[in-house]
Amino acid sequence: MTLTQCIKEKAYDLGFDLIGIAPASRAPHAEAYRRWLDQNYQAQMQWLARDPHRREDPRRVVTGAQSVVVVGLSYFVLDPPGDLWNDPSRGRIARYAWGLDYHNMMLPRLRELGDFIEQETGKSLNQRAYVDTGPILERDFAAQAGLGFIGKNTLLINPRMGSYLFLGEVLVDMELEYDEPAPEGGASCYIDPPGQSKRLGTCGNCTRCLEICPTHAFPAPYILDSNLCISYLTIELKGAIPIELRPLMGNWIFGCDDCQEICPWVRRYAPRSATRENFLRYDPDWIVPKLVDLMALDEVAFRAWFKGAPIKRTKRRGLLRNVAVALGNWGSPEALPVLEQALKDPEPLIKEHAAWAIEQIS
């Protein structure tokens, strides 16, 4: 068994669903990434624009890097009961946040995989592990490593598992056996020059993900304008949500899965990988919580409710801002008492959105 085969076997033993290896070279769509930044499609996520030369080339991240070991882990679990999921008095949470923070789960395994490579080679390696927090265009390298193709919704789609995938990488300064890129994969998820033909990956003529987006966040296939994306608005945006976008957000309070749920690849194949309930908290009353209950959370209750979960990232002020918008979109007078109480909240962001919700209901 070759070293590369041993690495892949170890990755599967660690619980990863997919693994592939790509050469550590300049990202295939580095220029498209620059054009995406030029349009300010990263919104307030300025770390995406910081030192783009480094983000484009893993050799600037790990000195002497030759290989990018990319892993994928499915986070698909079955849908909650329809009467809860479609209830506008409850908040929707993106599927990836239905449990413990995936960074804390994946990073130790990736570091163990890196240590394994060192042990197998018998020498000290320059290496580094990342789970979507490092300066690397990970979808580019996942496609190069054969894990899937980049779809029109800008997500990596594996033909056997869909797009509900966590991605992680180990950069190492040694040459390994490289996988073939996915057929037709690597379609730009940023911006192609005018007039340039687009590689459609294996999305074919399907545009369901583009059409279903409530805020029209896709100006073109393979291009996402983060300024309009509900996931950005509910998680990354720190200030007030633009008023004109609030009615379009429905009851999404943390992230959004609309462009994944509608994807034929997801609908057909993702249920095969519904095995992650060991770290995803499949409690319908938690993953589709009552909005009025959330709006009443103080700081202590917020920390207790979301202990260890990715939702803590928004902090209480961000989550209750989102909940207030969802309550306004629900439009029921039942929400008025908790919203009126929120007008007394010491956090201005919460008060502002509660006042908007009350106006919507009135």
pLDDT tens, 52-63? 999 999 999 999
Residue 171 neighbours by CB under 8 Å, 6+ apart: 24, 58, 61, 62, 65, 67, 68, 69, 127, 128, 129, 130, 136
Give the three-state DSSP class for 232. Answer: helix
pLDDT of residue 133: 86
Residue 210 confidence (pLDDT) above 60? yes
Alpha-carbon gap, residue 77 to 59, rounded angstroms: 36
Catalytic option among 79, 115, 132, 179? 132
List pLDDT tens digits, range 11-37.
999 999 999 999 999 999 899 999 999
Model pTM score:
0.92
Alpha-carbon gap, residue 48 to 55, rounded angstroms: 8
DSSP secondary structure letter of residue 253: E
Q: List b or e across 32-50, with b for residues whose CB sees 16 or more CB atoms inside 10 angstroms.
A: bbebbbeeebbbeeeebee
DSSP secondary structure letter of residue 111: H
| Confidence bin at 270 (pLDDT 50/70/90) | confident
Element (H, E) at 130: strand 127-130
Alpha-carbon gap, residue 171 to 173, rounded angstroms: 7
The answer to whether the beta carbons of residues 279 and 261 sit under 8 Å apart is no
pLDDT of residue 284: 78
Alpha-carbon gap, residue 176 to 69, rounded angstroms: 9
Q: Give the start-to-end residue ranges of the domains of the chain.
A: 1-79+94-240+256-275
| Confidence bin at 274 (pLDDT 50/70/90) | low
The answer to whether the beta carbons of residues 263 and 153 sit under 8 Å apart is yes
- Phi, psi angles (nearest 5°) of residue 248: -85, -5
* Residue of 299, 306, 293, 273 lying closest to 75 (CA atoms): 273
pLDDT of residue 282: 63
For 212, half-sphere exposure in the C-beta direction (CA atoms, 13 angstrom radius) is 14
The yes-or-no answer on residue 132 being catalytic is yes
> Over pLDDT 70: what percentage of the chain?
92
The answer to whether the beta carbons of residues 351 and 322 sit under 8 Å apart is no
pLDDT of residue 65: 96
DSSP secondary structure letter of residue 192: P
For 237, half-sphere exposure in the C-beta direction (CA atoms, 13 angstrom radius) is 22
Average pLDDT value for residue range 322-351: 98
The answer to whether the beta carbons of residues 35 and 65 sit under 8 Å apart is no
List pLDDT tens digits, range 140-197.
999 999 999 999 999 999 988 999 999 999 999 999 999 998 765 444 444 444 444 3
